[in-house]
């Protein structure tokens, strides 16, 4: 459900007017332009005894893109929301009693889907995902996105009953099944290059040379535009890196800034000595890829109750006026799964998803579509 009015009393009224069960959690996705005071929102939701978690995004999506307002979703949860502030020690926090007030943690086998919101500008996100995978199990599907501001400035962007956070993550295990489509559509321009020196989300050297110098030469030659540190992202948004994988598409990493020593600062970690391609976009290819991601849900077959969409903010920046075509393509593909199914979610600072091979990754510049469906409950044996 989309709300144009995000005054706290309006959000409360909307949630309290909806029928709910004790296991229900309300997901609150706020567009950064009109977000209310997060601490005041948390206090009001807690006083009303509402289970919730949420994040601030550059925009929210309910069939189309909104730069103002909020999208609020209602989902049945197994446990959580869990607050994770130390990405090096995820398992201990997931099992902490403070993350499971009043109940024993359920087996991961009983929690088939894990929804993750993370500060998109936090370092060590790969450690977070590896820790979640180890703590909550490989049998679950993982889905989510990065919160934060389109200004690329880090600030508190996550909230739950425990407070307001940055450099943190929230995880919620859902009593729902999930099918996930993942596509980006970026094509290889040149490479591979060796990431010969990296530090988490920073590339210091490519092929043994200063990273910015190597990248600048490639981008300026193709774009015929000057790439300078002070106007870096205006050009770099069209030329992401791709970590070479054994799959149809590279794992995209978005370079967003240049450091004082010529290092490239990216969204998401880059392993040292990884093979990197420089990618280039074509608008029609990106739009088609988003449609394929949504179309994947149709192949999986279950009747979906909800569709969660995490679509990278940099796709909207690159596509510009054509971004509405991407959302139309997603919507048209989803209609084959059900005429009333609507994509709801956010423009994200990075996307989280697990693949059919049960690997979990942090994506950039990618469309991630998750179809949530009710599970068949075992019937009690006849007496």
- pLDDT digit string, tens, across residues 346-369: 999 999 999 875 689 999 999 999
Mean pLDDT of 304-331: 96
Instruction: Using the Cα atoms of residue 246, residue 267, residue 164 and residue 49 in order, give the sign of their dihedral.
Output: negative
Instruction: Report how far apart, in Å, the C-alpha atoms of 298 and of each of 106, 179, 181 are.
Output: 30, 9, 10
- Give the pLDDT score at 97: 54
| pTM > 0.95 | no
- C-alpha span between 294 and 155 (Å, rounded): 31
Domain residue extents for the chain: 2-183+286-373, 187-280
Q: Is pLDDT at 174 greater than 50 in this prediction?
A: yes
Mean pLDDT of 277-293: 96
What is the token pair recorded at 355? 């693949």
Mean pLDDT computed over every residue of the chain: 91
DSSP β-ladder status, 197-199 and 202-206:
antiparallel
pLDDT tops 80 at residue 287: yes
Backbone dihedral angles phi then psi of residue 43, each to the nearest 5 degrees:
-60, -40
> What pLDDT does residue 92 have?
76
Least confident of 131-140, 214-223, 257-266, 268-277: 131-140
Residue 91 region by backbone torsions, left for phi larger than 0, else alpha for psi between -120 and 50, else beta: alpha
Number of residues written out for the chain: 383
Scan for tokens 């979610």, then name that residue. Answer: 345
Cβ 280 vs Cβ 239: under 8 Å: yes
Cis peptide before 81 (omega within 30 of 0): yes
pLDDT band at 105 (very low <50, low <70, confident <90, very high): very low
Q: What is the mean pLDDT of residues 33-41?
A: 98
Tell me what pLDDT residue 109 has: 44
User: Under 8 Å CB-to-CB from 188, ≥6 apart: which residues?
Assistant: 242, 250, 277, 278, 279, 280
pLDDT of residue 246: 77
Structure tokens at 276: 């990197």
Of the pLDDT bands very low, low, confident and very high (cuts 50, 70, 90), residue 110 is: low
pLDDT band at 102 (very low <50, low <70, confident <90, very high): very low
Q: Which residue has the tokens 């980006």?
A: 184
């Amino acid at each position: 459900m989309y709300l144009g009015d995000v005054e706290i009393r309006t959000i409360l009224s909307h949630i309290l007017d909806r029928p709910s069960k004790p296991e229900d959690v309300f997901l609150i996705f706020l567009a950064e332009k009109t977000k209310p005071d997060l601490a005041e929102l948390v206090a009001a939701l807690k006083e009303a005894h509402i289970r919730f978690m949420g994040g601030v995004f550059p925009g929210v999506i309910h069939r189309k893109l909104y730069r103002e307002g909020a999208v609020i979703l209602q989902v049945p949860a197994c446990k959580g929301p869990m607050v994770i502030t130390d990405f090096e020690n995820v398992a201990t926090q997931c099992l902490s009693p403070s993350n499971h007030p009043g109940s024993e943690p359920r087996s991961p086998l009983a929690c088939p889907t894990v929804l993750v919101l993370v500060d998109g500008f936090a370092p060590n996100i790969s450690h977070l995902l590896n820790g979640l995978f180890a703590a909550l199990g490989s049998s679950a599907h993982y889905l989510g996105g990065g919160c934060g501001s389109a200004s690329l400035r880090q600030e508190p962007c996550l909230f739950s009953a425990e407070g307001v956070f940055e450099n943190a993550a929230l995880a919620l295990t859902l009593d729902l099944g999930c099918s996930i489509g993942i596509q980006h559509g970026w094509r290889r321009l040149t490479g591979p290059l060796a990431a010969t020196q990296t530090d988490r989300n920073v590339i210091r050297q490519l092929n043994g040379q200063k990273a910015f110098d190597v990248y600048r030469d490639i981008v300026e030659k193709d774009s015929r535009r000057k790439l300078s540190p002070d106007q870096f992202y205006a050009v770099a948004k069209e030329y992401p890196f791709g970590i070479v994988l054994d799959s149809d598409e590279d794992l995209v990493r978005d370079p967003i800034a240049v450091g004082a020593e010529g290092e490239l600062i990216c969204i998401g970690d880059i392993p040292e000595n990884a093979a990197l391609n420089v990618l280039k976009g074509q608008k029609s290819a990106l739009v088609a890829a988003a449609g394929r991601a949504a179309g994947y849900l149709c192949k999986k077959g279950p009747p979906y109750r909800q569709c969660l969409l995490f679509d990278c903010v940099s796709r909207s920046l690159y596509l510009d006026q054509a971004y509405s075509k991407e959302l139309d393509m997603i919507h048209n593909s989803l209609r084959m799964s059900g005429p009333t199914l609507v994509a709801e979610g956010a423009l994200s600072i990075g996307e989280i998803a697990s693949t059919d091979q049960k690997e979990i990754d942090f994506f950039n510049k990618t469309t991630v579509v998750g179809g949530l469906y009710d599970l068949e409950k075992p019937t009690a044996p006849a007496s």
